[in-house]
Structure 1
Amino acid sequence: MTAFPQAQAFTKDQCATGLRAAVAILEKWQATTEQACDILRVSRSTHARAKLRNREWSVSLDSDQMQRVSFILNMHAALRLIFDNPENVYGFAAMANHNEFFNGRSPLEVMAQGDMISLYETYRRIDSLRGAQW
């Protein structure tokens, strides 16, 4: 018997649904294929398959990849709460940001570094715009 219950794994269909949503958001944020692959830590072929919406498809993602998907979905939700107009909801991530953390880089540029810290810190700063408490 283990002291802690094992985390329940996501099904392949859940992974595919989440990845498709994250890829669609990143496209609307004007991320390049390379940026999207670096942010989500997926291959170019997985990214390309996720863009095909009319096809039945499933994929297995590890917990790191699903965490990345979650950050993208949650950043999108926060941006939708902060902004009323689609230009800002979808344009914010590609805009140069002169706050201390970003130092003139866009949130996409920071997230595309590919490391989890950059993704998390970008999420944290966007989420804080909606009044989140840390």
Structure 2
Amino acid sequence: MTTVEAPVISKTTAASGLTAAVAILQKWGATGEQGTAILRVSRSTYARAKRRDPGWEVNLDGDQLTRISLVLNMHAALRVIFDNPENHYGFMAMANHNGYFDGRSPLEIIAQGGILSLYEVYRRIDSLRGAQW
């Protein structure tokens, strides 16, 4: 039986991804508390990423890297779906009345901190883009 190992992500690359995810979360209107729950990082790590310190490095686990990836991929899908920056940044804070969201905003759901909720919101946003890639 062969095993597949996850690629090794450098501490510098992890910091760049985290910094990008934090910047996106800020544009979506996430609070610091929501951001730390979504990315499963400490307040100090979140604050450091928010400051965008040059040369900063961080060690993140696979779950944290997956969360960053989902945020970045949601952002990419929203940019394809919406031409207007107000919409592709504002969508995450808008109340959504589709069955899964039940009047809550996508940001409210992902801020609960569960990886499954984060993935489900990503999946539903990604499905909106249809064949637009």
Q: TM-score range by the shorter chain?
A: over 0.9
- The question of whether the paired residues in 1 share the 8 Å contact of 2:12 and 2:55 is answered with no
Match of 2:19 in 1: 20
| TM-score, normalising length: structure 2 | 0.95
Shift of 1:54: 4.3
Match of 2:105 in 1: 106
Identity of aligned residues (%): 66
SS of residue in 2 equivalent to 1:114: coil
Once superposed, what is the RMSD of the aligned Cα atoms? 1.1
Task: Find out whether 1:88 has 2:87 as its counterpart.
Answer: yes
User: Residues of 2 paired with 1:25 and 1:80: CA distance?
Assistant: 12
What are structure 1's unaligned runs of at least 5 residues? none
Match of 1:122 in 2: 121
Shift of 1:56: 2.2
Match of 1:8 in 2: 7
| TM-score, normalising length: structure 1 | 0.94
Shift of 1:55: 3.0
Match of 2:52 in 1: 53
- The question of whether the paired residues in 1 share the 8 Å contact of 2:109 and 2:118 is answered with yes
Paired residue type of 1:22: A
Match of 1:78 in 2: 77
User: Residues of 2 paired with 1:26 and 1:112: CA distance?
Assistant: 10
SS of residue in 2 equivalent to 1:61: coil
- The question of whether the paired residues in 1 share the 8 Å contact of 2:30 and 2:107 is answered with yes
- The question of whether the paired residues in 1 share the 8 Å contact of 2:36 and 2:42 is answered with yes
Aligned residues: 131
Which whole-Å deviations, capped at 9, do the CAs of 1:75-125 have from their partners, x for residues lacking one? 000000000101101000000000000000000000011011100000000
SS of residue in 2 equivalent to 1:87: helix
Paired residue type of 1:24: A
- The question of whether the paired residues in 1 share the 8 Å contact of 2:14 and 2:65 is answered with yes
